[in-house]
Amino acid sequence: MNQFTHDSPLHSPSVKKTTPSVLAPVATHQNSTQRDHLSVRTHSTADARSGGSYGFTYYEYSHLEERINRDLKTLVYSFECRCPMAKIVAIILGGVYGRGEAGCFTDHSGTEKLYAPYEIVVVIKDMSALQKSYLTQLIATVIYGLKTKLNTSVRLIKVVCESNLYTLPSLPKWYELKWGHRVLWGANTVLAKIPFSKRPVFTAAEALQILFTQGIALVQAEREFNRLLRKKSALQSHSIALVRIWRTLWQTYLICGAVYLILTRAYTATFLAKLRVLRNLEVEDPFLSEIHFSEHYWKALQYMFRCGNVPKAADIKSQFSEIFLIYEKFYFKVFSIYTKRTILDGRTFANAVDRYYRAGLFSHEQSGVRYMVYNVMLLGLKGLRGVWKWYHPRYRLYAAMPGILLKNLPGRGRLVQLAGEALALSRQRYDKSRTIAFLSLWKSV
């Protein structure tokens, strides 16, 4: 089994990490020959442990560790009861639990709750497409049934044949899975077949899509928060919603940090390893040092790791303004590298987008008649207008994101025009708002 040293916490006067401990076995029913000692095996930063706790949460809250361990025993047992285990190679826990970096929050009633779903990847033996489809549906049914048994949701990331592990795309999520996971059941070295080195190279296009997706989450969080503000009497009863919004804001710092490491080719799997690299880069990089980014990143980690109370509405409102400005800086930085043009503000961003697409500098992204047909399918004959008809519809959204989030951004009107807002709105019958239109179009592509 591959073993990795636990990332030691970077020093902070207010935070102290407890001594790591060994991951205890998850007791399961002894009725299968496919198991590898029937224990939750770790390939994550939480691997080098000694003691009695499990190491799913960063600060190792004992009661939560016990609860998570019980949940995972229930998950494995549900698979054993419903699935043909002889066809399954491994059940793998990824995400923050797999890396030992989970946290929780305290709601208005004083109850501590986990705010991240369990992320599960199932590796199966090679089989026909029809057999795989049937087994995938069965696994999805098991995952769906766990919603009523567990207090935390379970997300099925992928069902993949063992031979296809070699062909997984070069994406950050698969890199993080390889270098930060726990095997709940089965072959404990199966993910060693994923072809990623410790220092992978991802493209600026991938960084842009990650940052854009987080922008969509910010738009959704802002809409949800404004809706709650209109119902002030309901704020106290929506603690889960407030925590979700607050977490989205802090998570944006983590996404921005990850994106910057992609651009500098210094990407790594765990939050603390990312923070260490960002602090080193900040010493010589004025882009990071001017906004004291590593401090923001560390505060975000403390929130993600530590049990905290439900935030106040006033704090959320002030944080929105700050995070939008930080997001703008990183978005312009990524787009500057993506288009190979200097971008300093909204006006230069609009000019760069205009010149880049009108000049036909297609670079790595594909363009052509098939996307023109796609635009017509989504937008009708209006999809034939302008240079955007040659591109995948998501690119007009890439160009529009700063204008969506930053209402007072210089050059915003031109960004909206470049993005073809009128075209998107023309297809929305149930809601004419700008945000809904762009979100709906994004979900369509």
pLDDT for residue 411: 58
Q: What is the pLDDT of residues 57-94, one digit of tens each?
A: 888 778 888 999 999 999 999 999 999 999 999 999 99
Nearest Cα residue to 114 out of 106, 122, 124, 126: 106
pTM of the predicted structure, to 2 decimals? 0.77
**pLDDT band with cut points at 50, 70 and 90 for residue 148:** confident
Q: Distance between CA 229 and CA 156 in Å, rounded?
A: 33
Q: Distance between CA 33 and CA 28 in Å, rounded?
A: 13
Q: Distance between CA 267 and CA 147 in Å, rounded?
A: 34
Does residue 301 surpass a pLDDT of 80?
yes
**What's the longest Cα–Cα distance across the chain?**
66
Which of 71-85, 231-245, 326-340 bottoms out in mean pLDDT, i.e. has the lowest?
A: 231-245
Pairing between β-strand 154-161 and β-strand 118-124 as defined by DSSP bridges = parallel
CB atoms inside a 10 Å sphere around CB 315: 12
Residue with tokens 């882009």: 287
| Burial of 290 per CB tally in 10 Å (0-12, 13-18, 19+) | exposed
* Class of the domain covering 41-193: alpha beta
Does residue 29 surpass a pLDDT of 60?
no
User: Average pLDDT of 207-211?
Assistant: 90
For 185, list phi and psi in degrees, rounded to 5: -155, 135
The upper half-sphere exposure of residue 323, i.e. CA atoms within 13 Å in the direction of its Cβ, equals: 31
Q: Distance between CA 404 and CA 216 in Å, rounded?
A: 9
Q: Where are the alpha helices (DSSP H) in 54-100?
A: 62-82, 95-98
User: Average pLDDT of 288-315?
Assistant: 87
Which of 186-195, 325-334, 406-415 bottoms out in mean pLDDT, i.e. has the lowest?
A: 406-415
pLDDT for residue 196: 78
Greatest mean pLDDT among 207-216, 303-312, 351-360 lies in 207-216
Pairing between β-strand 88-94 and β-strand 182-186 as defined by DSSP bridges = antiparallel
Q: Give percent of the chain above pLDDT 70.
A: 72
Q: Distance between CA 186 and CA 171 in Å, rounded?
A: 25
Question: Sign of the CA dihedral 58, 71, 154, 104?
Answer: negative
pLDDT for residue 333: 92
The pair of structure tokens assigned to 333 is 């930085």
pLDDT for residue 119: 96
**pLDDT band with cut points at 50, 70 and 90 for residue 300:** very high
pLDDT for residue 69: 93
Greatest mean pLDDT among 9-23, 85-99, 220-234, 324-338 lies in 85-99
Q: What is the mean pLDDT of the chain?
A: 76
Q: What is the pLDDT of residues 115-127, one digit of tens each?
A: 789 999 999 999 9
Name the more confident of 101 and 21: 101
**pLDDT band with cut points at 50, 70 and 90 for residue 412:** low
Q: Distance between CA 298 and CA 14 in Å, rounded?
A: 11
Asked whether 319 and 306 are in contact (CB, 8 A), the reply is no
**pLDDT band with cut points at 50, 70 and 90 for residue 128:** very high
CA 74, 6, 60: angle at the middle one, nearest 5?
Answer: 45
Task: Give the domain ranges of the chain.
Answer: 41-193, 198-339, 361-445
H-helix or E-strand containing 394? helix 394-405
For 105, list phi and psi in degrees, rounded to 5: -135, 165
pLDDT for residue 253: 96
Which strands form 112-114's sheet, in the order they lie side by side?
112-114, 104-106, 308-309
pLDDT for residue 360: 54
**pLDDT band with cut points at 50, 70 and 90 for residue 1:** very low
List, in sequence order, every residue forming a beta bridge with 122; answer none if it has no partner: 91, 159
Residue with tokens 């790591």: 20
pLDDT for residue 216: 82
- Helix, strand, or coil (residue 89): strand
pLDDT for residue 417: 59
Q: Where are the alpha helices (DSSP H) in 264-368?
A: 271-284, 286-289, 293-305, 313-339, 346-358
User: Average pLDDT of 132-160?
Assistant: 92
Asked whether 316 and 229 are in contact (CB, 8 A), the reply is no
